[in-house]
Every structure is written in C-alpha cells, then in structure tokens.
A and B are shown apart, each in its own frame.
Chain A
Amino acid sequence: MSSRPLTETRFRLATIDLARPLPSITLANDETGVGLTIRLDGQPIGFLLRDLPPGAMLAPDAVGRLLGPGERLALLEERIRRELWVTAGPPAAVPSLTAVVCTHDRPVLLARCLESLVVLRARGVERTPALEILVVDNAPSDGATRNVAARFPDVRYLCEPISGLDFARNRALQEATGDFVAYFDDDVTVDPGWLEGFVEACSAHPDAAAVTGPVLPLELATRAQVEFERLGGFRHDFRKTRFGVTLAGNETYPCGAGIFGAGCNMALRRDAVRSIGGFDEALDTGARLPGGGDLDIFYRLVRAGYVIVSEPRCLVLHQHRRTHEELRRQLWTWGLGFMAFLAKSYRADPTQRGKFRQLLAWWFVSKARLLAGRIVGREAPTVDLILAELAGGAVGLCGEYGRSCRRIERRRRAPTRQRVLGSGGA
C-alpha cells in the first residue's frame, strides 16, 4: 500500500561457523535486521533472516538463540552424518572442470564474478585438474565484455552471436574442454569452498551427471532484496541429496524440477548433456521468455536416468534485484519460465502428465494461498509480486513455448549466424 511509510530496509549479512565460538553481532544504525549464513566447518547448513532494531547488539549467546528449530536440526543432522561417514579421499580420477559464465552487456558484474573464479582456481584442490574459465559473450552490443575477459590471465573468451542464454550455454558445451561444465550467471560470486564441494560430491557419487548447490544473497541492502529472500530466495537447500529415479515422499517427482537446483549455479557432465541434445534454445531466450532452461535440463537429465547431486558447499552468492520493479519482473519471469517448462514437458513426456497436472494445480493453489495470506496480513507492498508471478505463469501456460520456438527459428535462420547444436530434444 503506498500509504505505508517506506522505511529503509537494510540487512547485515553475517556468517557464523558453529564449529567455532559464536561471535557477537552489532548492527549499524541503518541496519534493520540480519541475514545469517550458518556454517559448520565451512559447510553451509542454513540461512536465516531476522528483523532486529537498528543498532542492535547481540552477544554470542543471543546469536545462539537466533537458531530456530530448523537450524538446530540441520546442525545435528550434519554432525550425525559425519559420525556415520568419514569423507573418503578423492577418487583416482576427479573430473576436470570448465567454469562457464554466459553474459550479455554486464561487464562490471562479470568482472566481479571472474575475480571469484580466479580465486577459486588459485586455491585449487589437491589432485584435481586445473580449472578452465570460459566467458561466453552472448550477442554483445560492444567490446566491453571482451575487454574485461582480456584483463584476466587464462580466461578464454568466446562470442556467441545468436541472442539467447541457451544458445550461449550450448556453445560452451561444444567449446569447453572439461568433463564437467559449471555454469555461473554473471551476477553471482562463487564461494571459495565451491571446488572442495564439487570434488567431494563427485567422489561420493562418481556417477553424478550434475552437481548443484545453494544460492544465497550477495547483499541485502534494499527492501526488494530482503523481500526476495522472504519469498524463499533462489535456493536454500543445504542437504546433500542424491536425486535419482525416485524421491521418497515426493509424489510429483521429478516434475517439480525446481528442487534440483538453480541455473546460476550448476555443474553438468558434458557428455551427459550432449547425449540428451543439449539445452533447449527456445527457453531462456531473453525478453519474451527469460527462464525455464535450467528446469528443463535438470528434468531431462533425470528422465534420461542420470543422477543429480546437490552439495551445500557448492555455494554461490547472487546479486538480487535492487528495486521493487526489477524484482517484480524477476518473479514474472519465474512464473513464466516454470509454466513454459511445464507446458513443453507435458507435451513431450506423456507418461508424466498426471504429475504435471497435479503440479499445476498445486502451483496455482499455493500462490493463491500466499496471496490471500499477504492480503489478510496487510502486506500489500508484496501482493503485486505474487500477482506478477501468477500472471507470468498464465502467459507461460498459454502457448508461450510454442511462440518462442517460432521466434528462435527466425533467429537461427538470420544470415551469417550459424547454428550451434541440436534443438534441445524438444
């Protein structure tokens, strides 16, 4: 509601490691809460948001009391897991890895992302092949991205002229040399422990075709960024999960593909992705249908019998949208991308239609409930966000995928542009 006073919202981001004595946390006078990343020996096990009065001072025991039932259970669970299973050393052959950043006209963000990748490469992990870093410049309007990439030693640069994220991703699939391709969005930074997590996941699951991880905020400096985290954020799953043919207790598995991971942080086995035809270029096309490609690739991998592993140490931090308008557009995108994926898969995979129908009903009912809750709770400023997601979903259901297929066909045929890979098994 516009009458509501727009108090500045700004959260302190802090990290505590439960294996060490708790610190005290003091907020600045313009900070209205804390976003707390909880780790155990470096491994992320939880994330929580708490409103606090500006300038609040939390002594170590007060920081301990911030931990809710979920965080406490996660701590216990992780300690039990370590009691039961001592990490085996890396296997004889750890897969080689190419880190890929697909980007379009965002040189400043790209530079920050590459810096974190260079740190990752410098740290390395024992007995692992060196990390290859590859930038795919997607339909650039100037040379800024190329110049940024040139500033970093040993960063390969490629230009993919056809506009569309999945054209760029497929190009990387062809050009990368690693066994795995780790895709990062240009608006993330990669946690220094990412590579250790990847090696551990591959050691524990030598058959994994994909490794995914959590996504936490890089900053919580605006109301929109905090609101995005309140709505569930990108991906707060800190369990080590092996996603196979089934998932106990999940009736719509594997159709609710959001559980597998997020496209801004996914490492995929190159030959597995190529064997199923690569990314579907009709998804993630930019303005009109800017999402769904990650859901689609996860879903098709699992349906083809491949295993996806989620590993909490494969953490990235994401720069959330700062303004409310951008956030609204992002949520519209999510609704649209999810429903486009659903509409495509419903047609392409007839045996799973019952689950997709169930998922469709669940999605609309849960969004409607959320909406009702927000209206009753008079949290009007966020109502439009949920409405945007619903509207995006409606558009996605009403043939957007088909329209997108026709649009990209025109892009492919445009002169001097060459086709990259197959059409993505649509």
Chain B
Amino acid sequence: MVPDDADLAGLQLVFWLDGLPLGRCEVAADDLPLSTATLASLASEAVAPAIGYRLFARGFEAPMPALEPELRPPSDATALLACEHPLAAVRERLAGTDVALEAGGSAAEVSVVVCTRDRPEALARCLESLRAAQPRPREILVVDNAPTSDATHRSVAAMPDVRYVRESRPGLSIARNTGVRETTGAIIAFTDDDAVVDPHWIARLAGPFTARDVMAVTGIVFPGALESEAQRMAEDRLWGFAQEFRRRVFDGRYFARMRGRGVPVWHIGAGANMAIRREAFSRVGLFDERLGAGAAGCSEDSELWYRLLAEGWRCVYEPAAAVSHFHRDDLDSLRAQWHAYMRGHVVALLVQFARYRDWGNLRRIALQLPFFYLVWLHDVFRRGVRTEGLLWWAAVSGSAAGVGFYLRHRGTPPVA
C-alpha cells in the first residue's frame, strides 16, 4: 500500500472477509508503504479474536465492558488444533448462508426509521444506501423533525419506496417515537441521516431477534471519513468505543453484576445503528422525550436499553451489522455535540436512578465522572489547552448542565 496523498496522517484499515467485518488497525503515514508481509501480520493480529469466536466461541469471547473476564476451566483444544486454515473454515461456513439468515432473521419484519432535520444531502446519501440493501426491508420511513424548509420533503418525494412523515415538535426522541407509531414492522431499525449502511445491514441486525427475549440489537459504527482533526477526535473519543468485532450479549445477569457500580449501558452500542423489537415499547415504554438530541442531548437509546435490561430482557451487540457514520468535521460542532452528550448522559443517569433507585447511577455522577475529568485534565496539559482544554470544558459544563436540566424537567412525564 502506497500513500497517494501528501498530507495524509495515516490509514485506518478495516479487514473484511466475504462482506463480514473482522478487525481493524491503524497505520501512520510515516510507516507507509506497507509490505504484504507487514500487512499479513497486522491483519492476522486484528482478525484472530473474531475468527476464533466465529469458529469456536468458547475461549474467544469478547470481554464484557467494565468487567473482569470470568476464569473458566480450560476446554479441550482438539478442534482448535485441527483447524489448519481458519479463514477458509469461516468462509466455508459463510458460503451460501448469510450470517443473519443462518440465524433465521427476517428482513420482511424490519421497518427502517431515519430521523432527520435540515440535512437533505446527507439524508439522500443515507437513503441511497438503504435502498441498495439486500434483502429489502419492509419499509423505509423518514421522520422530518421540525424542518425549517421543505427541502427534505422534496428530496424524499423523488424516492417512491421511501415514506415521509413530518413531526413538527423538535427532539430526536419525539421523532423516533413518531417513527415507532407510524411503522408496522415487528422490528424497528434506526439509523442516522449522517450515516450510510452496509448492504447486509438489515438482515444482520434482524438476526439475533430470533431469540424471543432479545429486545434490542446494535451494530458496529465505522467512521465514514477521518479527514479532519475534528473527525479524528470524534472517532477516538466519542465513537471509537465500538472497536469490538465479536458479538456481546447483555442480559439480566450482567445488569445485576454491574448494578452497584452503574450499568455501563452506553457500551451496548449507538443509536445510529440499532434495532428494537416493537414489543419492547409496549413492555417498557417509548423513548424518553427528555433525552435525545434537541432535548437533554443523547442517551435516549441507552436509557431504553437500561429499562430493558432491568426488566430482564436481553440486548445484543452484533458487529456483523455495519454502519458508517460521518462525524462532524469542525471542532466547534464537535464541542457542542460533546456538551450535549455529557448533558444527556447525566440526565439519563438521573432518570435511571429515579425509575429504579439503582445507586450505581449516582455513584457514576458523584465519583466516576469527576475522577474521569481529573485524569483527563492531566491529558489536557499534555496535549494542549486550545483544542483539548475546550473539549474538556464542554464535557464538564455539559455534565453540570445535565443536573440542572433534570431538575427543571423532573415533573415532565417521560413520554408526551
């Protein structure tokens, strides 16, 4: 591989096998070009955990977020020793049946909801990727959230297989709830207007729902572009936590083990790449309209997962379902986004505490977050106050604003 761009800082490589993402790594521009031998070493190191998990599962499980891996008695190594060509073995398994289809997932049950606001170009790119998906979903619905012009409407009208609904009350949670009401599929998949989906996305996201007690499925989020400093920072700090290429199952047991420390539901996935079983909304309610972009900030997705886990249901992270998200590419909007994220995060913790009286949520606000900010402050001085310091302040002030926001909206019912 040879760089063709003079101001290239580096490469992020994602390794795929027959349409299945298996690992990634980064290479700095200074170390280009890469020889095939080096690439083979990097690739094998990156994909081995996911390959092992696909072939043998046991012994290759992904560690659960914030939990020490469980020590289990060593299993028999015979099958592993006999497997001389692991990549060929995975390809053989994939041949003919798709990952999701082998599990019996049904795309015909999936309604896709894309909430948008005044971003017709980005939305068109997203819808194109959805219309190219195979198999096709049951329906694609665009929820136009408090638009300031009819540009979105006009752009969607040109696509006959995409439905359009206008929701004039602003707020991502409100728009998503409207999407839930306006669709009919047993599974509702959500992506963002600034994302594009992988052609297999719908089928793979639907796959884990064959288990009756799975109420939510999330997938992996890749960066659509890493062109600017802001995009790279957003990837490193805000989005980069989904680096795992092995399936994770979050269940009541995980919830119980983490309850005292605060269940890190934000590790389950991202709202830009998730699906919820319709039944879940009737069991635990819709998205909390105090949360989400346009209101407190984010975390409307993770707060719903919190309720699902607390009620004993399961959430599955399935990295075979891939979405690429185009992060903001200027630092000002990254800071604004971060401010909103931390505000939403704190509000969600308070909402979760109010609902279930799990003290771990308060512990996170009172202990973990301040400690995190202190450690980060040390980084601020190392990396430079101008970018890092402003980001730090955006997060800290966002967290503080979250407490105020919650107190002001305490009385508001979660779903209007």
CB-CB contacts below 8 Å: A234-282 with B: 239-242, 244-246, 248
Which one of A73, A79, A241, A245 has the highest number of Cβ atoms from chain B below 10 Å of its Cβ? Answer: A79
The answer to whether the Cβ of B28 comes within 8 Å of any Cβ in the partner chain is yes
Q: Is the CB of A245 within 8 A of B31?
A: yes
Cβ of B43 under 8 Å from chain A: yes
Given contacts A18-B81, A242-B38, A248-B26, A64 and B76 within 8 Å (CB-CB) = yes
Complex Cα spacing A205 to B40, Å = 13
Q: Which residue of B lies closest to A243 (CB)?
A: B31
**Which chain A positions have C-beta within 8 A of B84?**
79
Inter-chain contact B30/A242, CB cutoff 8 Å: no
User: Does A407 belong to the interface (CB within 8 Å)?
Assistant: no
| A253 CB → nearest B CB, Å | 10
Smallest CB-CB separation from B74: which chain A residue?
A65
Question: What separation, in Å, do the CA atoms of A221 and B164 have in the docked complex?
Answer: 77
Q: Which of B44-52, B309-317, B360-368, B396-404 contacts A (4 or more CB under 8 A)?
A: B44-52
Q: Give the Cβ gap from B335 to chain A, nearest Cβ, in Å.
A: 24
With contact pairs A65-B75, A85-B36, A245-B31 given, residues A77 and B44 touching in the complex (Cβ less than 8 Å): yes
> In the complex, are the beta carbons of B41 and A83 less than 8 A apart?
no
- Are A77 and B45 in contact, with the CB atoms below 8 A? yes
CA A204 – CA B115 in complex, angstroms?
Answer: 50
Q: How far is the CA of A395 from the CA of B245 in the complex (A)?
A: 46
Number of contact residues on A: which range applies?
20 to 34
The docked-state distance in angstroms from the alpha carbon of A59 to that of B197 is 51
B43 contact set on A, CB distance < 8 A: 80-81, 84
A65 touches B77 (CB 8 A): yes
Cα A241 to Cα B42 with chains together (Å): 8
- Please count how many residues in chain B sit with their CB below 8 Å of the partner chain's CB atoms: 37
Asked if B80 and A75 sit within 8 Å, CB to CB, the answer is yes
**A40 → B minimal CB distance (Å):** 10
Which B residues are CB-close (under 8 A) to A245? 28, 30-31
Q: Once the chains are docked, how many angstroms separate the CA of A239 from the CA of B25?
A: 16
Are A73 and B30 in contact, CB atoms less than 8 angstroms apart?
no
Smallest CB gap from B80: residue in A? A72
A354 near B382: Cβ-Cβ < 8 Å: yes
Question: How far is B86's CA from A79's CA once the two chains are assembled, in angstroms?
Answer: 7
Contact of B88 among A75, A83, A241 (CB under 8 A): A83
- Which residues of chain B are within 8 angstroms of A354 by Cβ–Cβ distance? 382
Q: Given that A85-B40, A204-B37, A244-B30 are known contacts, is A67 also in contact with B77, CB under 8 Å in the complex?
A: yes
Residues from chain B with Cβ under 8 Å of A81 in the complex: 40-41, 43-44
A76 in contact (CB, < 8 A)? yes
Residues 58-98 of chain A, each 1 if its beta carbon lies under 8 Å from chain B, else 0? 00010011111100110111111101110000000000000
For the complex, is A158 an interface residue (Cβ under 8 Å from B)?
no
Report the minimal beta-carbon distance from B276 to chain A, rounded to whole angstroms.
34
Given contacts A69-B59, A244-B30, A246-B31, contact A76 B80 (CB under 8 A): yes
Q: Does A73 lie within 8 Å of B60, measured CB to CB?
A: yes
A64 to B73, CA, bound (A): 12
Name the A residues within 8 Å of B76 (CB-CB): 61, 64-65
Measured between alpha carbons, how far is A242 from B37 in the docked complex, in Å? 10
Interface string of B16-27 (1 = CB under 8 A from A): 000000000111
A49 at the interface (CB under 8 A from B): no
Residues of A within 8 A of B41 (CB): 81, 239-242
B48 touches A73 (CB 8 A): yes
Q: Which residues of B contact A65 (CB under 8 A)?
A: 74-77
A22 at the B interface (CB under 8 A): yes
5 additional contacts, CB 8 Å, given A76-B83, A242-B41, A244-B30?
A61-B78, A65-B74, A239-B41, A240-B41, A248-B25
5 contacts between A and B (CB under 8 A): A65-B77, A79-B85, A79-B86, A80-B48, A81-B44
Residues of A within 8 A of B (CB): 18, 22, 61, 64-69, 72-73, 75-81, 83-85, 204-205, 239-242, 244-246, 248, 354
* 8 closest A-B pairs by CB: A85-B40, A204-B37, A64-B77, A245-B30, A81-B44, A246-B28, A77-B48, A80-B44
